[in-house]
Amino acid sequence: MNLHIVGGFLGSGKTTAIIGAAKRLMASGKRVAIITNDQGKYLVDTAFFRAEGMPTVEVTGGCFCCRFDDLEKHLDFLRDTVQPDAVYSESVGSCADIVATVIKPLQALRSGAHTPTSLSVFTDSRLLLMRLLNEPLPFSDSVVYIFDQQIEESSLLVVNKIDLLAPEEQAQIRRQATERYPGKTILFQDSRSEEDVRLWLEAIQPGRSPLPSESLEIDYQRYGQGEAELAWLDKELTLQAPHGAARQVAIHFIEQILGQLAAAQAAVAHLKLFITCGHQHTKLSITASSGADWRANLPQFGDEPVQVEFNARVQTDPQTLDFIFTNALTSVAKITGVQVQSAGLPAFKPGFPKPTHRIAGSS
């Protein structure tokens, strides 16, 4: 069983790449399973993978490093039931220090029963280009520290969403990234491209991209502070929209959320929505670098109730995020006449990272 760990910052496109890779493997007769990971519950990524017919389990309530025992139990379960040829374990986007807290413990414990095959670290090309040019990112220094540390520990760096850069910017980031990270294997990728996904699959085959051997020298106080500056909100919604109005209702809700977050100067790390109406489903992903192109990904819906899984990861405090979410729902109900039912816990901040195991140094 090949175990591929996929890390990288919030909104870097990990899920899209895994979907593309899994579909390609499944089409060739391979069995594939997914492990999602998050601080909360009602996970959009889990719903999306399962809707695509992929066996999926989830590690919730913390990063893989802090829920290491859960990760091992899920790996055992998949090995004994699905018997997959490949498992993709998608780490939560605020997690760093994967080599010392996940890869090395998996290699060392239980005689390497679940030894990882690869570690890919994804990054949004637009954010990385800004960082390489020393331009300010829309996050605090502590959050940017997490972004930097994720890239630092990678040996295989996937610069994703390359198609969203202009041709001259693509040439610039290829040059800058190659110069800045001379010891890394770097892929410049559009994860919606079958050819780019094929090249990534080739790069993560056994023996192709050696796992990093050096553990990070990471400042856990800065790391923990970065996580504490992000508020998380997970909700399940049911919208009963007037005839033919479901798409406009969804647009109004998202616009209300984004407008109020902008007014509060709350930087969006990642907003994710998984929307189901009858037999239709779609996933939306919005980050600080996104424009208004998310509207184009919203189809026309039927007259059935619309189910929405909603995940927000925003640099603000939980009370502000709760207030904005409630205001947006109130506005949608008032302006559109939609009936809304909402379930989920209040917004929260992740706890301080406390790895189950940590193996420092080089192997």
Can you read off the two tokens belonging to residue 223? 């790391």
Do you know the residue count of the chain?
363
Residue-wise pLDDT tens digits, 215-263: 999 999 999 999 999 999 999 999 887 777 888 888 889 999 999 999 9
The more confidently predicted of residues 297 and 133 is: 133
pLDDT at 298: 86
pLDDT at 261: 96
2-226 CATH pick, 3.40.630.10, 3.40.50.300, 3.30.1050.10, 3.30.9.10: 3.40.50.300
User: What percent of the chain is helix, strand and coil (3-state, nearest 5)?
Assistant: 40, 25, 35
Close Cβ partners of 307 (under 8 Å, ≥ 6 residues apart): 236, 237, 238, 275, 276, 277
- Angle between helix 246-263 and 318-336 (nearest 10): 140
Domain positions in the chain are: 2-226, 230-343
Sheet of strand 231-240, all strands in order from the earlier edge strand to the far edge: 280-286, 267-277, 306-315, 231-240, 339-343
Close Cβ partners of 360 (under 8 Å, ≥ 6 residues apart): 100, 215
pTM, rounded to two decimals: 0.95
Per the DSSP assignment, residues forming a β-bridge with 121 are 7, 157
pLDDT at 36: 98
The whole-angstrom separation of Cα 25 and Cα 28 is 5
128 has a pLDDT exceeding 80: yes
Cβ burial, residue 13 (10 Å; 0-12/13-18/19+) = buried
Same fold, 2-226 and 230-343: no
Band of pLDDT at residue 273, cut at 50, 70 and 90: very high
Give the DSSP per-residue string, 163-208: GGS-HHHHHHHHHHHHHH-TTSEEEEE-TT-HHHHHHHHHHTSTTT
172 has a pLDDT exceeding 80: yes
The whole-angstrom separation of Cα 152 and Cα 124 is 15
Q: How large a percentage of the chain has pLDDT more than 90?
A: 81
pLDDT at 292: 67
CATH architecture of 230-343: 2-Layer Sandwich (3.30)
